[in-house]
Every structure is written in structure tokens, then in C-alpha cells.
Structure 1
Amino acid sequence: MTERSGQAGDATDGPVPTTPVCYRHPDRETYVRCTRCDRPICPECMRDASVGHQCPECVSAGRRSVRPARTAFGGGAAGRQGYVTKTLIALNVLVMVLSIASARSGSAVAGGGLGGLMGDSTPLTDWGAVLGLARFSDGIIGGVADGQWYRLVTAMFLHFGLLHLLLNMWALWVLGRTLEAVLGPLRFLALYLIAGLGGNVAAYVFTEPNRFTAGASTAIFGLFAAIFVIMRRLGRDTSAIVPVLVINLVFTFTVPSISVAGHLGGLAVGALMALVLAYAPRMRRTAFQVAGGAILLVALLGLVLVRTATLVG
């Protein structure tokens, strides 16, 4: 009988199985694999997924491939926090404090129109309110027609007294948060500024050239029109908006110190901008919205140029 000699583990035996190790930590054995790339991962590298676990690289790649949440009109979801609305209110309050400080008198808070409830003008409102063309007490001529175009913007942040400020800021708080959440921060800010500018341009065009007008109400009326348009576009009930808008229009036409042109101008331009934002075609929504806003700005610029030519001609 022929004998064969040999040792255990000779070439006749099969391969010795090995335990998988984490691809990021080779010294750690693991039987868990990434459900996306199938690489072994240790407990430190595991990231919870909808099914199983994923490795850090696959989680990062998944985040990059996910598009950020958008509103129905293309805005960012950050608008739900109301940051722009809060910033605008803070800016208006700050300017009111500066206005009162510039006057160094309690009449800047109250003591003016509406039976003393409104405040008087201050050096700051004289500097930044909408004014067509007038000669000041020191003999200097000023106004938008004299090249002070900044008044068309600064006027929407100035107020005649504390009551004037509080009424506008309450309306901005109520309307602004809703519109910012629906439109997103940037689109809401564009709506606010263009509506406010539109109201100030209307005040410049249709108001006596030596009359000061100021206040956020030009932009606020634009927000009233916008929330009506936006809610209708979303198919929501607008019955609660109409009475509030009608009441504000009644005040506009009955209170002597209110700028009718400024309110109606803000209302009209706000409605037009809201239509641009709400009915932009989905495929090229952002480009359409930007172009629509630009067209409105050009039209407002044209009105300013025509009015200026009339006053200085």
C-alpha cells in the first residue's frame, strides 16, 4: 500500500475566508454594507437612510443631487421664516428713531395732522420724502426734478409720526409674512420695493410739486393688491381681503393728509408685479419674472423723466 504524507492546510484545502473591513477604517471588521455603493462600513461610518445605512460619501452625493424646496412661484422655502419682513420692519423703526432724533422735538412723534395724532415733518423727512420741486426756507431749491431721485426710494422708509409708522408696520407684519412664505424672500422683496417705488413715482407725477409725501403705505397697498392676485392664483378664498382693502381705500379718499396718488400707484404697480410673479410660465419662470420686473422699472423711469421735463421745462 502506498502511503502519502502531508500537513494540514496543504494545497488540497480550500481558501481561508476573511472578514470584511470598513473601507474607511481597515482595522475594523464589519458585516454591514452601504445600501447604495455596497462598500463595508463600520458603526462610525454608518448614516441612517430610508432603507438600511449609507456611507458618508453616498450621503453627501445624495444631498447634492436633491434640489432645494421651492414655492409654487419659484421662491425659496426660507421665506417661511419671514426674515425679509422682519428686516423691513426693523429698518423702518430705525429710520423713525433717526427722524425723531433729527427733530429734537416731541412733535416728530405726534402733534401734527389727524387732530394731533400724526407727527410733524423733521429734517430727515424733508431730506428724503417725495418732493417734486420746491424752494426751501434757506433759499435752496430741491426735489426729484432737481436731481434728487433718491427721494423716490427713501420716502418708503420715512413716516410722519409714530401712529403713521405703527399702522403701516402692522399691515406689513400681517401681509408680509404670508406673501414672503408664498413667494420666497427675493421675489417678495422685489414686489415690495417695486410697489413702493411705483407709489412714489405716482405721487411725484400727480401731486403738487411743493408737497412732501412719505410712508411705507405705497408698498403696503402694493401688498394688498398682490395678496389678492396670489390667493386667486392659488385658488384660495379672498373674501376676507376685499373688505380690508375697501376700508383702506375709503380712508385714502376721505383723510386729507393721505396721498391718494401714492396709494393708488402702489396698488396698481403691486398688482402688475404680482401678476408677473404669479402667472410666469413654469419652464422659464425666473427669466419671465425678471423681465417683467425690469419692464415695470423702465416704465416708471419713463414717467419720472416725463414729469421732470414738465417741471423744469
Structure 2
Amino acid sequence: MFSRTENFSQYIRLYPVVAFFLTVNILVFLITIIPGIGDTVLYAGMGVNYLISDGEWWRLITPMFLHGGLMHILFNMFSLFIFGPELEKIAGKARFLTIYLLSGVFGNLATFFLHGPDYASVGASGAIFGILGAFGALVHYTKRILPQLRQIILPIILVSVVMTFVQPGINATAHIAGLIFGFLVGLSYFHPKRIANWKKR
């Protein structure tokens, strides 16, 4: 289910939303490592709570396209590359887009409300955890139909949550908030009655 066998052109054609987010994140990261302008771009978009309080609302969105280092973006983009396509295929482009973006924004909102004014963060992890949360909702509805999905997803979610609290410098609030939001949206999107309506169209 999560093994990727497509070539480059097939991947882009089959999963355009995932490909778009991969491209944007990688391009933005490359910009942020350019001497001179890189730090300016990073600081202009990172989530800083007191600046959000001052009206810089875009900082609730832009942090999910910024990363604090090579390992940070590699982990997030690898997760998006592996897990994103299957969810985009199951949910559809528009629904995947909303799960990804709104989970990221919700994670940043939770960070804003639950941390102090000096707290700052970057990363797509809230959106990535939203994808895992949506898969968790799918497992809830298909545990008897697709037991193999449950065997794969639940350990991944468990390990991801544990690593959130074990590794230093992690915005655990965004991770957990994104996971919860993705799960709740997934419960709505993947409800059997709604899926039945999709099939009728």
C-alpha cells in the first residue's frame, strides 16, 4: 500500500497535490540555505507567537513550508512522499488538500494558544501528522475490511507520537494537534454514508 513504484512522471501525474507540496517545500528550503537571503526568508515566515499577536497572521500558514535543517525536511518530505499518495488517491485531491493544509494550520493555531509569546517554530510536521490522523480515521471505519491497514498505520502513529516526546526541539503541540484534527476530518470524510455518496456520483 505504501510502497512507491511509480517513476517520476507517473508520480506527478497520479498525485499532483502531493507532488506540489513536495516541490514547494524543497524549493523553499533551498532558498533558505542561500547565504544572505536565506535567513531573511526563514525569519519572515516562521511561526513566532508574539508576531502573530501583532497581526502577522500569515505566520499561521507559512511555517509548514519552512524547515530548520536538512534532517528536518528529509524526514517530513519522506513521510509525505510515502504516505501522501495513498491518502490523495483514497480521499481525492480536494479533500487531501484540506486535510494537509488545515491540519498544519490547526497545529500552528494550537502552538499559538498553548505556548508563550516568545515561542517560535517551523515545519510541516503538523500537516504530516494530519495525514496520519486521517489514516487513523480510515482504520476506524475499515478495521474489519482492511486489517492490514490497521497493522501498518497504528504502529506508525504510535512510534511517531513516542518520538515526538523523546526527541529534543520538537513542537509536540503541532504534532498532536495535527494528528487530532486529521483524525476528526477523516471521520467526516471517510464516513461510510459519505463514501457511498461518492460512489453514486
Please state which band the TM-score falls in when normalised by the shorter chain. 0.7 to 0.9
Contiguous gaps of at least 5 residues in structure 2: 1-11
Q: Determine the C-alpha separation between the residues in 2 that align with 1:123 and 1:151.
A: 14
1:80–1:227 CA distance, 2 compared to 1 (3 A) = farther
User: What letter corresponds to residue 81 of structure 1 in structure 2?
Assistant: L
Paired residue for 1:197? 105
* Count of aligned pairs: 183
Equivalent of 1:128 in 34, 41, 45: 45
- 1:106-125 paired onto structure 2 within 5 Å: 122-125=39-42
1:283–1:125 CA distance, 2 compared to 1 (3 A) = closer
Quote the offset at 1:255 in angstroms. Answer: 1.8
User: Residues 274-312 of structure 1, C-alpha deviation per residue, up to 9 Å, x if partnerless?
Assistant: 1111117449968xxxxxxxxxxxxxxxxxxxxxxxxxx
1:93 maps to 2:1? no
Q: Determine the C-alpha separation between the residues in 1 that align with 2:196 and 2:93.
A: 19
Contiguous gaps of at least 5 residues in structure 1: 1-78, 109-121, 134-142, 287-313
User: Residues 80-105 of structure 1, C-alpha deviation per residue, up to 9 Å, x if partnerless?
Assistant: 8111111110010011011112556x
Q: Determine the C-alpha separation between the residues in 1 that align with 2:195 and 2:46.
A: 41
User: Residues 53-84 of structure 1, C-alpha deviation per residue, up to 9 Å, x if partnerless?
Assistant: xxxxxxxxxxxxxxxxxxxxxxxxxx981111
Q: Determine the C-alpha separation between the residues in 2 that align with 1:91 and 1:176.
A: 15
- 1:1-313 paired onto structure 2 within 5 Å: 81-101=14-34, 103=36, 122-133=39-50, 143-234=51-142, 235-237=145-147, 238-279=150-191, 281-282=193-194
User: What letter corresponds to residue 171 of structure 2 in structure 1?
Assistant: S
User: What letter corresponds to residue 19 of structure 2 in structure 1?
Assistant: K
Greater CA deviation, 248-257 or 156-165? 248-257
Please tell me whether Structure 1 or Structure 2 has the larger radius of gyration of its CA atoms.
1
More helix by share: 2
Q: Determine the C-alpha separation between the residues in 1 that align with 2:195 and 2:128.
A: 30
User: What letter corresponds to residue 245 of structure 1 in structure 2?
Assistant: I
Partner SS state of residue 210, structure 1? coil
Paired residue for 1:297? none
TM-score by length of 1: 0.55
Identical columns (%) = 33
User: What letter corresponds to residue 187 of structure 2 in structure 1?
Assistant: L
Q: Determine the C-alpha separation between the residues in 2 that align with 1:283 and 1:188.
A: 15
1:175–1:227 contact (8 Å) kept in structure 2: no
User: What letter corresponds to residue 18 of structure 2 in structure 1?
Assistant: T
1:102–1:124 contact (8 Å) kept in structure 2: no
**C-alpha root-mean-square deviation of aligned residues, in Å?**
2.2
TM-score by length of 2: 0.84
Partner SS state of residue 101, structure 1? coil
